[in-house]
Amino acid sequence: MSRAFEIWRSLNEIGLWKIKLGRLEEMDEDLAKQVEKLFEEMLERGFSLFRGRLRYECSCLHEAELRAFEELADTLRNVLCAKKEGFVKSMAEIIDEKMNQKGVRVLERELEFFLESFLEKHKKTIDELLKSCSSFKNFKNIASTLLWSVDEWWILYAPREAYIDVFLSIISSLEEAKIGWWSEIISRREYYYSKNELPILVYVPSSLSPDHVAEIGGLVKKAVSELGIEKNAYSQTDLLKDVQNLRHYMYICCS
């Protein structure tokens, strides 16, 4: 089944799909038709299986990505081309201000480490941006390479019995606001029997688009609260993974 969805992702330019299962000993013809219909509906609605997770791709993904990129480019230009003192300090001040305005708590040490790691990882690109301040077109072309350059996501742990309801509520809120990208839940059966709470991941394109990141976090938190569940959402990134003496997240949408 996972292989089928891997093939689909590589051929997603095709607009109309028809799923046909091969012969399976444990599946009669009627059941096979039902499974084929289910797969087709999942594909049509933006669902796929990815690395042991059920992934939903919002229909507004490209529109939302453009909005996030515009903010990313503006934020970088305000910091780099205004010759403000210190990339990390200036960027942290902008992010902290925008996050606080939307009620998102910022963990200063974790954010500073993230920005320092980001600068080290993309120093060549940042230097190219500094040289391109006189041409906004060139600046934006270079800045576009930083979108999705680091894996970042909001994560929330939902009670097992409400897991699917919470997931559907979140993706519905993101679709309505036209700001969502990918959202994922665990699809492996063994987790449903061994865990009381299960993770929901909602991906974001870049923490250098703080308004968008904060808005997504707020929508995730609101969607959960409307179901009567009070849980914090945490913003995580690969750059904080396995770092000693630091938490693995840098923003919190609190209950």
- Strands of the sheet with 152-159, listed across from one edge: 47-50, 53-57, 182-186, 197-204, 152-159, 233-237, 249-253, 105-106
- Is the pLDDT at 251 greater than 50? The verdict is yes
Write down the pLDDT at residue 28: 64
Write down the pLDDT at residue 148: 85
Higher pLDDT, 215 or 61: 215
- Is the pLDDT at 38 greater than 80? The verdict is no
DSSP state of 83: T
Report the amino acid identity of residue 249: Y
Nearest Cα neighbor of 97 from 117, 116, 78 is: 78
Confidence of residue 41 (pLDDT cuts 50, 70, 90): low
Question: Phi first, then psi: what are they for 58, rounded to 5°?
Answer: -65, 145
Percent helix / strand / coil, the chain, rounded to 5:
55, 15, 30
- Long-range residue pairs from 110-114, CB within 8 A, at least 24 positions apart, any chain: 110/240, 110/246, 110/247, 110/249, 110/250, 111/250, 111/251, 112/88, 113/239, 113/240, 113/243, 113/246, 114/207, 114/237, 114/239, 114/240, 114/250
Question: Which tokens sit at 191?
Answer: 């987790």
* Percent of the chain's residues with pLDDT above 70: 81
Give tens-digit pLDDT for 58-82: 888 888 889 999 999 999 999 998 7
CA distances from 241 to 75, 114, 150, 184 (A): 25, 10, 12, 19
Write down the pLDDT at residue 195: 78
CA distances from 187 to 5, 51, 234 (A): 14, 9, 21
Average pLDDT value for residue range 75-97: 88
DSSP state of 232: -
Question: Phi first, then psi: what are they for 176, rounded to 5°?
Answer: -65, -40
**Which region among 41-50, 91-100, 207-216, 227-236 has the lowest average model confidence (pLDDT)?**
41-50
Write down the pLDDT at residue 139: 92
- Is the pLDDT at 2 greater than 60? The verdict is no
Write down the pLDDT at residue 8: 52
Question: Which tokens sit at 128?
Answer: 């190219």
Write down the pLDDT at residue 95: 95
Q: Which residue has the tokens 């669902």?
A: 47
d(C-alpha 71, C-alpha 235), whole Å: 18
Question: Which tokens sit at 198?
Answer: 């299960």
Report the amino acid identity of residue 51: R
- Is the pLDDT at 99 greater than 60? The verdict is yes
CB 180 within 8 A of CB 167: no
Write down the pLDDT at residue 181: 85
- Is the pLDDT at 184 greater than 50? The verdict is yes
Nearest Cα neighbor of 167 from 61, 38, 55, 252 is: 55
